[in-house]
Structure 1
Amino acid sequence: MARFTRNGTTKILWVDTIADPTYMPTATELSGATDYTKQIAAVDGFSIENQEIETPDMASTFVSKIPGNDSAADSSLTFYEDDVTDTIETDLAKGTVGFVVICRKGKAPSTKGMDVFPVRVASNSPAITADNEAAKITVKFSIIDRPLLNATVPTGS
């Protein structure tokens, strides 16, 4: 098994629209995406969690479980704030709808590991601190539908 680090490999993109109802982007849609990888300081969430259901019975003191509903984890991207432009503040303003595309193993065509999250921006908030660190903005996302997980990056993107 070959191991790798996410830093320098994983790509995080913003796509305004994806025509396919299963959220599989075309090469053209991916080529037109905004690549935010270099501006991102932290990633939280962007995963599916299952809310298991307990199923106790009178025959045992062990409480078994069955899979329940799936839901999305609270998800956010923390960006480095730019003191010249306000791209993050305008492109990812509260209420903006689009797609966060995470190419976990890189964006090379035919690479597996592309996750597509249909989202709405829930908040866009600068972190104000007196600490000795770079200025940051946290954008929180509501995942509005079941994401496409572990897809293959389309050829030509």
Structure 2
Amino acid sequence: MPDEELQWSDPDGHGEQSVVDCEACQSVLDDESDRTVSFLLLDHLTIPVRSCERHLDRFSTICGLTTEDSARVLDHYPAGGVACPACRNARYDTSRPMVSVDGGMVVLTACPDHQTQILQRFDTGLETHQQLTASLDGRDAV
């Protein structure tokens, strides 16, 4: 499995059309309805996200390496809602980042502050994953 990279794309349709290798991700990204929104729960953060189940699970697993608790994904609106007013209104902003995850994409539908926090968590999680899977002599761990 190739390692994920932190990549940003412009999902608003201006410029080049982004290409997603995963048909399930592309289907979710093409469907702008509220039924394709999931919610990533990580510590005090509740981040609206859009992706297929497989890539969303991979994204949450990587982010979960940055916390003592586990990261969870809800396919329904969370009890208590989304606490951040800017995150609740972020779905109307078309400049959301897309993160490349193992051949698919995850769209972060959150305010800029929470986007930055979750992207930092993802980047740190990738580094942690790489350290956990590398052996001391430079060969891949089993």
Q: Which has the larger radius of gyration?
A: 1
TM over 0.5: no
Band the TM-score falls in, shorter-chain normalisation:
under 0.3
Calculate the TM-score normalised by the size of structure 2. Answer: 0.26
More strand by share: 1
Structure having greater relative contact order (Cα 8 Å, sep ≥ 6): 2
TM-score under structure 1 length normalisation:
0.24
Structure with greater helix percent? 2
